[in-house]
Amino acid sequence: MNKLIVFLLISQLCIAQQNKRKLVWEEQFSDNKLNEKNWNFELGDGCPNCGWGNNERELYTKDNHKLIDGTLVITAKKEGEIYTSTRITTKGKKEFQYGRFEARAKLPIGNGIWPAFWMLGGNIDTAKWPLCGEIDILEYVGREPDMVFTSLHTQDSHGNTINTKKTKFENIEEGFHIYAADWDKDKITFYVDDQLVYTFAPEQKTEAIWPFDQPFYIILNMAIGGNFGGPNVDDAILPQTFIIDYIRVYE
């Protein structure tokens, strides 16, 4: 069968499955300010785990975001010698076990930029990272244009990026795109605009391999520099904006 036909059939199946799902939570960023009944601000430089564990260069503040025309706009800036941005989470407020998680977002561009839509296990304070597990639905680094990263971090991989996929999408930086993960008791599958890009379905489900049998919370942020963002930041491209139209969770 023609590969294009197979792709279209799979895409239609994915859309049909999504349409059968029940929407259980949605954030449309339609208010004048962020709803802190749903969202927490994580502030500062991450100390005592400075650089947020990745040698990142930004200082997170409450001032680097705005809600504009039903979108969340996170802005990365350089203010004097300091890089600033915003990082928000639903920890302790909106946590989910299994379902489809999707964001419609527009990426920033430029060397040193590292926006993300991701999740962490709600037991992180007791189990610690990486035993708590991490689901990276979207990561993008400006030093690798046209590439979308989808990854998982577990104790089995010692937190390293082993269970991962880098997928090329020409001009992914242009306009809005939908980044999603379908997560059930057996597997996690990742999509960009309903195109399947990666599946993680290990046969063994030990805590070290599969910490994904517990509630997780959502994180949105734009880091600057760091181990993954890269040591070199092009100050000339700043400020840059990471724009999120909505977050949706289906069961």
The residues carrying an active-site annotation are: 134, 139
Q: What distance in Å separates the CA atoms of residue 203 and residue 208, rounded to the nearest whole number?
A: 13
Helices (H), 94-233: 124-127, 226-229
φ, ψ (nearest 5 deg) of residue 27: -120, 115
Helices (H), 115-183: 124-127
| Nearest Cα to Cα of residue 127 among 212, 56, 60, 218 | 212
Q: What distance in Å separates the CA atoms of residue 218 and residue 27, rounded to the nearest whole number?
A: 11
User: How many Cα atoms occupy the beta-carbon half-sphere of 250 within 13 Å?
Assistant: 13
